[in-house]
Amino acid sequence: MTVTDISPSVMQFLLAFIVVGPLLGAVAALLPAPPGLKGRNPDQAVLRHGVTVTGAVLIAAIVLAVGFDHDHPATMQATTDISWIPALDVRIHLGIDGISLPLLVLTALLTFLCALYSYFKPPAGPSPKAFVALVLVLESGTLATFAVLDLLLFFLAFEMVLIPMYFLINRWGGDQRQAAAWKFILYTLLGSVVMLLGLLLVGLKSGTFDMVALATDNGRGLTTSVQVIAVLAIGLGLAVKTPMWPLHSWLPDAHTAAPTVGSVLLAGVLLKMGTYGFVRILLPVAPDGMRTFAPYLAAFAVVGIVYGSLACLALARTGAKGDLKRLIAYSSVGHMGFVLLGIATMTPTGVNGALFANIAHGLITGLLFFLVGAVKDRYGTADLDTLAGATGAALYGRAPRLGALLAFAAVASLGLPGLAGFWGEMLTLFGAYSPAEGLSRPAFRTFMAIGAFGTLLTAAYMLIVVRRVCMGEHALPARTTPDASAPSAPTAASASDAPQAPATPGTPQTPATTPAPAASPTPGTLQALPAPGDTQAPTTPQLADVQPYEAAAWTPLVALTVLAGLWPAVLLGLTDPAVQKLLSGGKS
């Protein structure tokens, strides 16, 4: 049912503004501020400009969603179709349906929250002018990817996000940022070159680059061999961006080096561009080619699920010196594996599960990267051994609200029923149980079993992270024996015990409550419990808990994670009719 009556021309304007508005805002960010808007701090003025532009785009996206005809989510709405390059029949063709609308709103929301967070917590690096401009260009390219309906425009929008993300990592990132940025740009550019060849093949062989016409034709104008080649070429480019194992190796480095908002946008929206391409282009345009490659896509997907989980378990173990940002990055490889498995089933159930998992991953992993960034700011490190060993109480005792939010995001990520992460994984596994006609049921049921095993591994590493980071780790009390030559005082115990070293700057230390030893404990080394009968209990130094601006940036993600988990029909009611039409060759 349409909530409000908004004229088609207004809907067209809103969608065009959502796509072009951030680009105009990026240009304005680089210009000198008008005298009345300069304020006392030019850096704060440009950061405020970023909040204003992204906020206006978010409001436009919400109004567009309110005016969307929810009775006909399979119909393209707010469409604009203007000839751009007549010689190639390339058109500026925009439109949204139930598949693209949730991704559009998610992108606008996450970008606004990142801009708001950056206003109060500017990233360390060069002038904020370039930072704000790059974030806005990134937003424009991502929104355009989900709104365009022409293959060549899709490619241009797909590529538009690469340069901004490269500079965000390279100029505002942490350690090893240059190597991570180069790895990101090389992987994605090489994949894009192959994808362009596949898109040109489809357009030239079918006689049109219009995605709606191609979806309606449902591959009837393309031979099976052309479809197979097109799926291989386009699929490789999309798989790099997703990222699919074994083309994922750029992702952990990029996430580890990226600033907090860069990681949020990379995980929350950029990865979705790859899976969206599979659903919007390959499934309807080349169904025979997809049917040929579907078992291989599913096999790579479940390997990615297990591989990502095992990598996270290895990073989470005591003494591994694992980086918490890197662990969340590897978890994304596993979660996107579920999305690819759902797409590979080629069934409405599986594809709906993939689209639901896409949105859930954007909400939950975006929240996780926000939280990990906040933890790193407070401790000065994201090293798991240091976070777990800094104090026995860890986050629950030092910043309880922050610890509670991290635990919430972790259990949402592992797929707890009642939260957003559950429905996507469940529907994906249901789809694998009964794949589309022509696909091997025994093979896909095997993939389903492997994927289900992956959910157990996900639960294992997420609960280990909660136990170590939120609860901390206590060493056992020191024991004395009659012939012991060592003193009976408590000693430091840790899986990563090392000779005394100077404290790492920014790493919190537990204040001593007993006479000072010869040297201070190494940051990250676990302190033993006091011996029985010791009346002096160690005190727990407090960290700054959740700040108001952090609560403002994170609360919408928490609320939507709960809403999507308790009321999945909000999303499925949009995506299911559009998926049914897409898979049936344009027939509602």
Structure confidence at residue 450 (pLDDT): 94
Q: Enter the pTM of the model.
A: 0.84
First to last CA, the chain: 17
Min mean pLDDT across 81-85, 241-245, 368-372, 537-541 is at: 537-541
How many Å apart are CA 240 and CA 340, to the nearest integer? 12
The SS3 of residue 450 is helix
**Whole-number Å distance between alpha carbons of 234 and 22:** 28
What's the mean pLDDT in 146-175? Answer: 90
pLDDT in tens, 510-564: 444 434 443 433 333 333 334 334 444 444 456 777 888 889 999 999 999 999 9
Selection from 70-74, 153-157, 204-208, 388-392 with the highest mean pLDDT: 153-157
481 CB neighbour count, 10 Å cutoff: 8
Q: Which residue has the higher pLDDT, 33 or 120?
A: 120
Q: What is the pLDDT of residues 465-520, one digit of tens each?
A: 888 888 876 544 434 444 444 443 344 333 333 334 443 334 444 444 434 443 43
Backbone angles phi, psi at 150, to 5 degrees: -130, 135
Residue 456 amino acid letter = L
In this predicted model, what pLDDT tens digit does every residue of 373-390 receive, in sequence order? 888 888 888 888 877 765
Higher-pLDDT residue of 436 and 588 is 436
Task: Please write the tens of the pLDDT for every residue from 24-51.
Answer: 999 988 887 665 555 567 778 888 889 9
Give the pLDDT band of residue 65 (cuts 50, 70, 90).
Answer: very high
The DSSP code sequence of 377-412 is HHHS--BHHHHHHS-SSHHHHH-HHHHHHHHHHHHH
* Average pLDDT over every residue of 54-70: 93
Average pLDDT of the residues of the chain: 83
